[in-house]
Chains A and B, each alone.
Chain A
Amino acid sequence: MAQVLQIRPTAQQHRPRKVVAQPHFLVGAGTCGLAAGAEKVIQVLEAELAIRGTPAVIKRVGCMGMCKWEVMVDVWLPGRPRLSFGPVNEKNAKRLLHEYLDNGVVPGDMLLGVTPGYEEPPSLEEMEGRSITEEEWLTAPIQPGPNELPVVGRLPLLKDHPMMRHQLRIVLQNCGLIDPESLEEYLERGGYAGLQRALFELSPEQVIEEVTISGLRGRGGAGFPTGKKWALARQAKGSPKYVICNADEGDPGAFMDRSVLEGDPFRILEGMTISAYAIGASFGFIYVRAEYPLAVERLRKAIESAREHGLLGENILGTSFSFDIELKIGAGAFVCGEETALIASVEGKRGMPRPRPPYPAERGVFGCPTNINNVETYANIPDIVKRGGKWFASIGTEKSKGTKVFALSGKVRWSGLIEVPMGTSIRDIVFKIGGGIEGDRKFKAVQMGGPSGGCLPEALLDTPVDYDSLVAAGAIMGSGGMVVMDDTTCMVDVARFFLNFTREESCGQCTPCREGIARLYNLLEEITHRPGWNGGRLGAAKTAEERAALLEEIERLGRTIRDTSLCGLGQTAPSPVLSTLRYFRDEYMTHAVEARCPAGRCSDLLTYSIDEALCQGCAQCARSCPSGAIGGEKGKKYHINPDVCIRCALCLRVCNFGAVKAV
């Protein structure tokens, strides 16, 4: 029998390490941290620590979700609490070491707070043995820096940070805190206690019962009750059975799954293993995007590590239950997020959807009963089994239980990865957690659910995030992308952007989606260009009345595509258009009838000119102009001839002085 791993039996007993023997530096090195320069910071830390000869541990951890403050570095010194700093760059990393490691002074302008794991800042007894006094600690030069923390007397907690205080973290509880490659640290945080309870205390039916009581609904977008899905797979006749984790996060504007996979991969393995036990499967697949190389790497290591410790493979934890997982790397097709298409792709075919029923629970991968859930759904399972379905059901609204992770981005001040109880209002998410609109501009809309979702206007900011309220408002929960838009965003342009995406990603199998979306896209092209554009090839609408009538055609075609497409991708593809048309019809009318773009985004509807006060006479614009519309002399001011200008906006993009204006 495989060696049985010692796992902490209950959640209550889990206590993270409170002390470290030598200095630890935990650098947020998810994809976004890396984009912000995490590797450079690590190089500086390594070099500086080598100079000092200080033995220290540098670890790459996942994403805490506070992307505005990337690169985030947690510094954990012996006898001190774990402190989060950010944003750290090559320059201030040296200062951080000098002030804090060498002199024991906390650089207040970089401090974000004492990291979770501590309910309270350490008591003074815990601080004993340090080289600085209480007085020094309390009067450490903490100024309210860019992080805007209220600091009264003692070190602030990270959980009280304005971006963190309205959040409730279940799925993200370990992200950014633990070393994602360390099984030991996952166990210390209560990992695998859920699987242990399932295997030793519950029958498969009881596990399904717990999940049903919890009220958990699929986090991939559609919100199908997870317990029901599992029960169907359990009851289905046929063998073997499979479980699949859908980690093909294809929605542009969404990175929740990536962060969980990169920051807490064992959580997914545990959730899938519990699911396999519940439905009676002995093999599983994780279908993950090739665009997420770091997530693939972390999953691969986690699977190996779990196998070594008897948490995957034959006789898990010494029981008669056996289960293993294979990683399938996706090859880049948005439609593979649809479960039947994903199954086709796992089987090595073109990822094209097929009609349902039969549902995957009856006939899934290789024709066998298959349970398929997405990353976030599985990530909730360990805690549901560990703490009980009732606990989970106590969070959220009547029909939407638990929490939801959102990827908050766009024109919001503090973008990042956040997790809130279901029922939180969009206003709270954007204005409290996100800190409002960047540059204090005016909020215009929030796009939810990616290419299948919709845009909600200001009037609907108080909509609570739960599955049913969002659908009623014309958006969807989707996988959790939330892109905030301000008054510089053109809603017609946004709709066209999504249609361009779905047009390219349509698998081409059914006509409404393949032809309909292309035609719908052309209609939007027509109203975002001047009458007679493209030689009138795409449509003959010239007069204001004719162009206004295009809006009716857009609506009619959108509804047809919605009602007649084969799979979810096609059925929801017109949503971005239909929802913006519903809430921003005026803006559509301005484009169609007046041939004007109020937000200044649709380049063919704008008039270009050069602001002489700003023009430096560098000739960059004149050189790049394809139609020779820009005249002038080098060293003097340049000007645009509107009659020759083809409105390609190239001059706008090449000007280094912001002198080209478009209205």
Chain B
Amino acid sequence: MAARDDLHAAYAARFDLPAERGACIGCITQTVPLELVLAAGLRPVRLFPDPSRPPTRGDRYMEAEIDGEVRSLFDRMVAGAFAGLPLVLLPRMSEPHLQLHYYLAEVRTWEPEADIPPVQLVDIMQTAFWSTGRYVRARLVELADRLGGIGEPVTEDALRAAIHTVNRMRERLQALNALRRESRLKGSDLYRATALFGALSPGEFLSLTEALAADPGPKAGDAPRLMLSGCQQDDPSLYELIEAEGVHVAADDHVTGERVFAHLVDPAADPYDALAEHYQLHAPGLRQYPQKTLDDRFLAICRDARVDADLCVLNAGDDTLGWDWPGRRDRLREMGIPSRLLIAQDDFRPDRAAQTSALAALLQDAREGAA
């Protein structure tokens, strides 16, 4: 159990930034190109939202319709929680993240005393077009130049080495996911490990995940197997609620789940081409297009993970993922897998009773379907 304890301790310490931040690069989400940060000799530190604290100062400027993760990060930024970082990288994995870039620019004029570090949007677009790929590649080259000005100039050798390192980190998570599929690792623990991707140094991360793979904890047995889909989860509390009901989260499909590590960067290609293709086509984001590709992948995971049911949970501001659910529900039904939709979950005060109730109803659907 020591590995799990270490995992939980590392996750609990996720808000603690190093005292000396001059060589640290703040990373918003797990889709920051860590390879470039490492190749510049810098230390990525993930900046987490805090769903336990509803925003106060930031909500004077930012509408409640925007996702809780973004509102929380904006609030923490304005409050100076990330002061001292030489740069924060903000990938454009959704429209709210893009808006965060603009809101942070504007709030500096309203609160000039706020100690907000420089923020660079990483304008990764995700349409599957050649011109988009070239655009993304040019942005990554620009980013490498900027990071090189803070740390060391990014060389091809250093970048290839960083790609190798980050791929190893992804492979480690893939191995943990295989254990989860076999019910030998809890979904909540894989969530924690995934959240630490980009939060710990590569050495710490590889060490922690290696130990966890060797000692993943008690087997879940023959518990019902669930796919958790929908909006991103900002902490493992929903996983834990589901597990407390005796259900194993065998798979997930949201942007902070297993999609984070599902794809590796091609180590043999030109490194910038490889990175551009990876982040354009494979990094988890709400702007990936076409949707059919994502839906097909989701259904394949449901089949391969042998899930009994799908619970799709959406937050209160959702204007996006709700478009996917009816089609997915219908296709799952053809596979004999029931799906339920739970909407309007408050990012800071989720309705745990509604979640428990939806889960119970879904399990009943699954039992009736199996009977």
Check if A and B associate. no
Binding site for B on A (CB under 8 A): none
